[in-house]
């Protein structure tokens, strides 16, 4: 009974038809026991105290509408879909226009692909941490065309 109760608590996903929900990313599972490493399409991520649980686009028991869930301990890697198709290559930094030297990263505040100097500047912004959490949440919820938590972001410190 204890096991059952625990299982029901985990099912706090939105309850939709997982086979028709938009795919937000994929997980690569670790090979464990008789199970080989595999790839699963993910439609939702449930946050729990013990880490995220990934809801796949497959039914575990269709007649009970229980989706196939993958616990974080079985997951080698979660790859958000938005990151897969997104090109990070820039010759010049979106923000300062300086050369990137082939080293770029995504702004935490908006969709700029920025150089490492600008990234360091961002980290000094007092709202960096809050923006980081908000951006994370948006990706997990699969928000399409996410424009960042501050689309009009301008750095507080200009060099």
CB of 155 to Zn ion, least distance (A): 9
10 binds Zn ion per the rule CB under 5 A: no
CB of 123 to Zn ion, least distance (A): 13
- Residue 115 or 135: the one with the smaller Cβ distance to Zn ion is 115
43 binds Zn ion per the rule CB under 5 A: no
Kind plus residue range of the DSSP H or E element containing 85:
none
> Which of 96, 106, 134, 138 is close enough to bind Zn ion by CB under 5 A?
96
Task: Please tell me the distance from the alpha carbon of residue 18 to that of residue 57, in angstroms, as a whole number.
Answer: 5
> CA neighbours within 13 Å on the CB side: how many for 89?
2
113 binds Zn ion per the rule CB under 5 A: no
> Which of 24, 55, 93, 108 is close enough to bind Zn ion by CB under 5 A?
93
How many of the chain's residues bind Zn ion (CB under 5 A)? 6
115 binds Zn ion per the rule CB under 5 A: yes
Triad 136, 137, 139: Cα angle to 5°: 65
Number of Cβ atoms within 10 Å of the Cβ of 130: 12
CB of 84 to Zn ion, least distance (A): 24
> Which of 18, 27, 118, 149 is close enough to bind Zn ion by CB under 5 A?
118
* The total number of residues written for the chain in this structure: 159
Contact 90, 100 (CB under 8 A): yes
CB of 94 to Zn ion, least distance (A): 8
CB of 95 to Zn ion, least distance (A): 5
Task: Please tell me the distance from the alpha carbon of residue 57 to that of residue 16, in angstroms, as a whole number.
Answer: 10
Which of these ranges, 3-11, 91-99, 129-137, 151-159, lies near Zn ion under the rule CB under 5 A? Answer: 91-99
Task: Please tell me the distance from the alpha carbon of residue 80 to that of residue 74, in angstroms, as a whole number.
Answer: 17
Task: Please tell me the distance from the alpha carbon of residue 15 to that of residue 25, in angstroms, as a whole number.
Answer: 18
Give the interface with Zn ion as residue ranges (CB under 5 A).
93, 95-96, 98, 115, 118
């Amino acid at each position: 009974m204890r096991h059952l109760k625990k299982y029901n608590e985990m099912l706090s996903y939105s309850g939709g038809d997982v086979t028709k929900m938009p795919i937000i990313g994929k997980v690569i599972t670790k090979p464990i026991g008789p199970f080989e490493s595999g790839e699963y399409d993910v439609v939702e991520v449930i946050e729990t105290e013990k880490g995220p649980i990934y809801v796949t686009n497959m039914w575990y028991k269709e007649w009970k509408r229980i989706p196939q869930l993958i616990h974080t301990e079985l997951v080698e890697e979660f790859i958000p879909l938005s990151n897969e198709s997104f090109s990070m290559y820039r010759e010049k930094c979106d923000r300062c226009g300086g050369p990137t030297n082939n080293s770029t990263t995504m702004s935490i505040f908006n969709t700029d692909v920025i150089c490492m100097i600008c990234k360091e500047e961002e980290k000094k912004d007092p709202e960096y941490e809050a923006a980081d959490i908000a951006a994370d949440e948006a990706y997990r919820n699969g928000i399409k065309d996410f424009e960042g938590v501050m689309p009009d972001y301008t750095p507080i410190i200009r060099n």
